[in-house]
Amino acid sequence: MFPLSRLVMRSPCRVLTRVGAALRLSGHALHGRPPRVYGIHDRQASQCSKPYYITTPIFYVNASPHIGHVYSAVTADCLHRYKLLKGYNSRFATGTDEHGLKIQQAASNAGKEPLSFCTEISESFKHVFQRCSISYTDYIRTTEQRHTRAVEDFWMVLQSKGFLYKGTYEGWYSTPDESFLTPAQVTDGTDSEGRRIKVSSESGHKVEWMKEDNYMFRLSDFRTEVLRWLRSNPKVIRPVKFHDLVLQWLEDDDIPDLSVSRQKSRLQWGIPVPGDPEQTIYVWLDALVNYLTVVGYPQNHAQWWTAVHHVVGKDILKFHAIYWPAFLMAAGLPLPRMIYVHSHWTVEGKKMSKSLGNVINPLDAIEKFSADGLRYFLLRQGVPDSDCDYYDDKVVKVCNSELADALGGLLNRCTAPSLNPAQLYPRFSNTCFPKEENCGKAVSDDYRMMEAVSALPVVVERHFENLNIYKALEAISACVRLTNRFVQRHAPWKLDRKEDQQWLDTILHVSLECLRMYGILLQPVVPGLAHKILSRLGVAPEERSWDSLNFLRRYEGGDCVLEGRALGPDLGVLFSRLERSPVKRKTPKMATTQDEGKS
Ligand code: MSP
């Protein structure tokens, strides 16, 4: 006997159970306009529910979007959609990082005026995000006026508090990383023509020696405070491996003061230092402030700012986990609630790079696999603490087996008119599936499946909260397999309609209840497919929130509002099987929980 009631979940605000409705926008609803997840419930949401604010890094506009960028965005989108389902008033910001030497050089190489160069690439990011169902609520460009005002204000606060001074920076600088490096962070390398050069040991990018008069930020003053913050908040950077890495940097490495401006003669494309137009603000200080600009800094930002969560790639950890907290401490502002770090995608075992010609264009991938296919693959195979390898056949294999065959097959079987000619949500019979095992028609494995599906929301929630989205998907996929086995075991198509109608209906009821759970839980990951599943089951938009994860209420003796209700229209195949590319490759391995911690 298994009490399902103890697994019922609560959201912070019940009024917001209807916010799930907003997720109707799903994949299809995003056409040519800024995606919005809020619908008519905006005002209710902002009045009564807890704020949640999630950001992606803002993307450099020196090159077109690739799947690595999309991975950062899809990860944040998934967390945003998940928080909305949980009843939070969630805000999700993304955008483009448009200043700095790297962009100045890229525009000049392209023979374009910097702003129009930036606008072109920024638009291409927006386009990719729209095609990929990235439902951001705010899009920021660092060339906007509102951002200039925020950066100027932030600068003046740092200055008025005595954290900036004029000095001379002499040391290494990497333009591709827009980063200052200590001698210990630099090593020998060669350029594309075999000449000996100095490179960053972390990124491998070329570094140059520079000596310049500019403004310095008293970063070294904050070393102890940042350490204290990290030690007293052991979960603030996830996965823990990255938290430990930052602690190690702070404990072992030199943390010198940081140059936060460049001479205008070197860098024109940026925000001038207030009161000193011969200096331009360092692009990372400029860029990090974007997170504040979005929420209205320097006015009215307090409510959102205390709820900020950052998603970042591992390459920009130092900027977010050391510089940013130090800047915020200096400005007297609260620190991020969470920094979620993810690793990188390689392509067929190699780092993605223009020179290797292996950069994956997300639009091509969406064309081949659909937005939901690409999203599912990235989140199912993306293990945050180790790099992951992308190749087309792996996408095909994952999507075919888990979306087309397992999930699509289950939906197709259980809603087929041949098994369910009335096309109603079938009735559950406690006689066929009683609480006591061995008393009805259900067998022991059926009870085990039911336990697994009942526990699924708690499991998925835990994994989402820890940025282990792949583990959540692994758990859902395991349950889908159990439900398929349940259907296979009882072969409802072989049952006699007259004698076994109750049992047949019960099998279908249990299966549809499982599918309803999978549909609700999958909304943050594959919004289009989840919408198809839930619509086919006749689940109304306001019945799709986390609060609706009340699995199989009839088993507990409760009511099931869906029982007897007409199923929704058949929207066709859930996910069409993908063709493998003609070239034969080794059999891909699926990500499992054992992959965690591997680097
Ligand atoms: N502009 C800075 C961020 C400033 S945030 C205040 C920047 N931009 S970026 O375009 O280079 O990178 C943006 C994000 O894309 C980062 O999170 C980075 O880790 C991610 N990725 C870039 N290449 C990637 C892969 N190959 N794989 C996964 N993510 C990758 O850094």
Distances (CA, A) of 228 to 225, 231, 251: 5, 5, 11
pLDDT confidence bin for 193, thresholds 50/70/90: confident
The residue type found at 535 is S
What pLDDT digit, counting tens, does each position of 195-220 carry? 999 999 988 899 999 999 999 999 99
Whole-angstrom distance, CA of residue 291 vs CA of residue 55: 7
**585 Cβ contact partners less than 8 Å away, ≥ 6 residues apart:** 391, 393
The minimum-distance atom of ligand 1 relative to the CA of 97 is 1
**Whether the predicted pLDDT of 247 surpasses 70:** yes
**Whether the predicted pLDDT of 481 surpasses 50:** yes
Strands 258-259 and 59-60: unpaired
Residue pointed to by tokens 């050069």: 197
438 SS3 class: coil
The minimum-distance atom of ligand 1 relative to the CA of 287 is 6
What would the mean pLDDT of 307-334 be, rounded to a whole number? 98
Number of Cβ atoms within 10 Å of the Cβ of 281: 26
- Identify which of 58, 52, 57 has the alpha carbon closest to the alpha carbon of residue 38: 52
591 SS3 class: coil
pTM exceeds 0.75, yes or no? yes
- Identify which of 295, 292, 511, 549 has the alpha carbon closest to the alpha carbon of residue 419: 511
* Bond from prior residue into 239 cis (ω within 30 degrees of 0): yes
Task: Take atom 18 of ligand 1 and give the residue whose Cα is closest.
Answer: 313
State in Å: Cα 61 to ligand 1 middle.
11
Q: Which residues of 63-92 are buried (b: 16+ CB within 10 A; e: fewer)?
A: ebbbbbbbbbbbbbbbbbbbbbbbbbbbbb
Whole-angstrom distance, CA of residue 435 vs CA of residue 442: 10
15's tokens: 């009024």
Please tell me the total number of residues recorded for the chain in this structure: 599
344's tokens: 């990188």
The mean predicted confidence, pLDDT, of the chain is 90
Choose between 69 and 31: higher pLDDT. Answer: 69
**451 Cβ contact partners less than 8 Å away, ≥ 6 residues apart:** 2
- Give residue ranges with CB within 6 A of ligand 1: 57-60, 68-69, 71-72, 97, 287-288, 290, 312-313, 315-316, 344-345, 352
Choose between 17 and 280: higher pLDDT. Answer: 280
- Identify which of 351, 346, 432 has the alpha carbon closest to the alpha carbon of residue 394: 346
Number of Cβ atoms within 10 Å of the Cβ of 566: 11
What would the mean pLDDT of 370-393 be, rounded to a whole number? 96
Q: Which residues pair with 259 in a beta bridge?
A: 216
The answer to whether 419 and 506 have CB atoms below 8 angstroms apart is no
What would the mean pLDDT of 183-196 be, rounded to a whole number? 89
Q: What is the pLDDT of residue 582?
A: 64
Q: What is the pLDDT of residue 354?
A: 76
Q: What is the pLDDT of residue 583?
A: 54
Task: Take atom 12 of ligand 1 and give the residue whose Cα is closest.
Answer: 59
356's tokens: 């290797």
**Whether the predicted pLDDT of 598 surpasses 60:** no
Whole-angstrom distance, CA of residue 412 vs CA of residue 515: 11
What pLDDT digit, counting tens, does each position of 43-57 carry? 344 446 899 999 999
State in Å: Cα 98 to ligand 1 middle.
13
Number of Cβ atoms within 10 Å of the Cβ of 209: 10
What pLDDT digit, counting tens, does each position of 399-411 carry? 999 999 999 999 9
**298 Cβ contact partners less than 8 Å away, ≥ 6 residues apart:** 149, 150, 153, 154, 292
**Whether the predicted pLDDT of 9 surpasses 80:** no
**Whether the predicted pLDDT of 599 surpasses 50:** no
Ranges assigned E (strand) in 475-595 = none
What pLDDT digit, counting tens, does each position of 487-536 carry? 999 999 999 988 999 999 999 999 999 999 999 999 999 999 999 999 99
Ligand 1 pocket test, candidate residues 174, 316, 341, 379, most atoms within 8 A of CB = 316
